[in-house]
Amino acid sequence: MSTSSGNLPPTFDRADGHAVFPNTDHDETARLNFLTGLNVHIGRELSPGVRAAYEQRVRPSFAKTHGKDPSTATDVRKAMLDDPYYQQWAALRRSTQEASQQVSREVALRRVDTLSEAAKALNDGRNTLFLNLDVEIPSYQAAVDNHLMPGSYYTEAKPDDVTAAATYEVSLFPIGGASFGPKGDGGGRAMANFVRDRFPDLNPKRIVDMGGGIGGNTLPLAAAYPDAEIIVVDTAAPMLRYGHARAHDMGYENVNFVQGLAETVDLEPGSVDLIISVMFWHETSTKTVGEAMAHIHSLLAPGGVMLHLEQPNFDKDTPTFDRFMRDWDAYYNNEPFWTKLHTLDVFAAMQKAGFKKENLFDAGTEADIEPGRFQPWSTIVARHRHETKDLGKIGRQLSTLGGYKGERWWMFGAVK
């Protein structure tokens, strides 16, 4: 298979392992490599054909019948459903996602005992893992297996199970087309760069990552602020057990993993200097956005910062066709809150939570892959910090809130 650039993604065996990372065998690695490549191929080579099908067939036919172009993403979707190219593209995309998740789940389940033993060996005797099995999985999380990950984040195949987390970490590689870096931490690294550039005087003593999962994107912040106390909050015990063991195996002693809800986690009000989240909000609900933002506001110290990394929201200029494409995951990838979040006014939500309008900011960013790793792939899929030195300076002020263009990810936040 070749992509138009002539470059292929790195192979799965080039991901960085650790003591609880499943060591895949030849066939498992080959499957993951195939699926990584297939995902990239769909994104680069086949997805442009969906736009062509729309422009050349579906839109003209709609306009002929209705006397106008489709004006909403729902109109576009309904019109596209009968198009054979779209049907094949969507079926292939769905089955590639399902296969990526199923293979990752199988890789984890085959090692159910060895993985939990490895995690236990690193977790036992440490006072930085706080599980609370009374924490109730929120109804929105229990309702679906997000992005088709079998059993979601919280299912336990046995006591002390960590396979949900291993599934998650393995699956990030194929579903991200190897674009998150060898440790899957490209988002966290980009945020750490941004915080250092944008808030050079912030010297956080306590940092919290809401919905931090296995802490993959938390660790770059822990590395940037080695004297800070770091707290990963998540609902799902398997993610925390695995993340805690992973962090300790990687040499981090300043990271705590706490089972709790972002909207209620029991920390002292005003005690946190920096609160982050990565790809968290799109897997919650409108109610949780309001409650968790308000809780974050109460937890932050005066002058403290919150910063969230997410998929970009739509703005008034987002074309209808692009809205339809980006809503795909809500319909076919078990991401029920995806579309709602795309149109939610997060700036209004932040103000409702207590943040002042003049203290809000947003910025675009890309995954920051460790320099020298995943070459030449990383130069294709991401802009390197050393190549775009000003990346951290693009945090735009209120005058252009919500108006950034171009980057793959969106950061928004506020100073208390």
Closest to ligand SAM by CB, 80 vs 346, is: 346
Q: Which of 315, 311, 317, 325 is nearest to 52 (CA)?
A: 325
Residue 80 C-beta: closest distance to ligand SAM, Å: 27
Sheet containing 272-278: order of strands: 129-130, 255-259, 229-234, 206-210, 272-278, 300-310, 409-415, 360-365
Residue 137 C-beta: closest distance to ligand SAM, Å: 8
Closest to ligand SAM by CB, 102 vs 235, is: 235
Residue 348 C-beta: closest distance to ligand SAM, Å: 20
Please give the sequence-ordered ranges of beta strands (E in DSSP) within 101-190, or none if there are none.
129-130
Closest to ligand SAM by CB, 76 vs 164, is: 164
Per-residue three-class SS string for 230-279? EEEEECCHHHHHHHHHHHHHCCCCCEEEEECCCCCCCCCCCCEEEEEEEC
Q: How many residues contact ligand SAM, by CB under 6 A?
A: 23
Residue 292 C-beta: closest distance to ligand SAM, Å: 6
Q: Which of 7, 33, 40, 86 is nearest to 321 (CA)?
A: 86
Q: Which of 101, 140, 50 is nearest to 327 (CA)?
A: 50
Give dist(CA 228, CA 300) in Å, integer: 15
Closest to ligand SAM by CB, 39 vs 235, is: 235
| Alpha-carbon torsion (182, 22, 167, 8), positive or negative | positive
Closest to ligand SAM by CB, 53 vs 263, is: 263
Give dist(CA 149, CA 290) in Å, integer: 26
Residue 123-142 contact track with ligand SAM, rule CB under 6 A, x = bound: ---------------x--x-
Angle at the Cα of 58 (from 55 to 64), degrees rounded to 5? 105
Amino acid at position 397, single letter: Q
Residue 140 C-beta: closest distance to ligand SAM, Å: 8
**DSSP at 312:** P
Beta-carbon contacts of residue 140 (< 8 Å; ≥ 6 apart):
283, 284, 285, 288, 336, 337
Closest to ligand SAM by CB, 111 vs 246, is: 246
Residue 278 C-beta: closest distance to ligand SAM, Å: 4
Residue 91 C-beta: closest distance to ligand SAM, Å: 24
Closest to ligand SAM by CB, 49 vs 138, is: 138
Amino acid at position 113, single letter: D
Closest to ligand SAM by CB, 35 vs 276, is: 276
CA–CA distances in Å: residue 219 to residues 84, 157, 190, 223, 308: 45, 27, 12, 6, 15
Burial class (CB in 10 A: 0-12, 13-18, 19+), 299: buried
Closest to ligand SAM by CB, 83 vs 160, is: 160
Residue 374 C-beta: closest distance to ligand SAM, Å: 18
Residue 366 C-beta: closest distance to ligand SAM, Å: 15
Residue 43-82 contact track with ligand SAM, rule CB under 6 A, x = bound: ----------------------------------------
Q: Which of residues 142-161 bind ligand SAM (CB under 6 A)?
A: 153
Structure tokens at 338: 């995806």
Q: Which of residues 245-284 bind ligand SAM (CB under 6 A)?
A: 261-263, 278-280, 283-284
Residue 125 C-beta: closest distance to ligand SAM, Å: 25
Per-residue three-class SS string for 16-41? CCCCCCCCCCHHHHHHHHHHHHHHHH
Residue 388 C-beta: closest distance to ligand SAM, Å: 22
Q: Which of residues 192-251 bind ligand SAM (CB under 6 A)?
A: 210-213, 216-217, 233-236, 239
Q: Which of 304, 235, 296, 303 is nearest to 267 (CA)?
A: 296
Q: Would you say 23 and 12 are in contact if contact means Cβ atoms under 8 Å apart?
A: no
Site membership for ligand SAM, residue 409 (CB under 6 A): no
By residue count, the chain amounts to 416
Closest to ligand SAM by CB, 121 vs 142, is: 142
Closest to ligand SAM by CB, 128 vs 167, is: 167
> Which residues of the shown chain bind ligand SAM in the complex (CB under 6 A)?
138, 141, 153, 210-213, 216-217, 233-236, 239, 261-263, 278-280, 283-284, 288
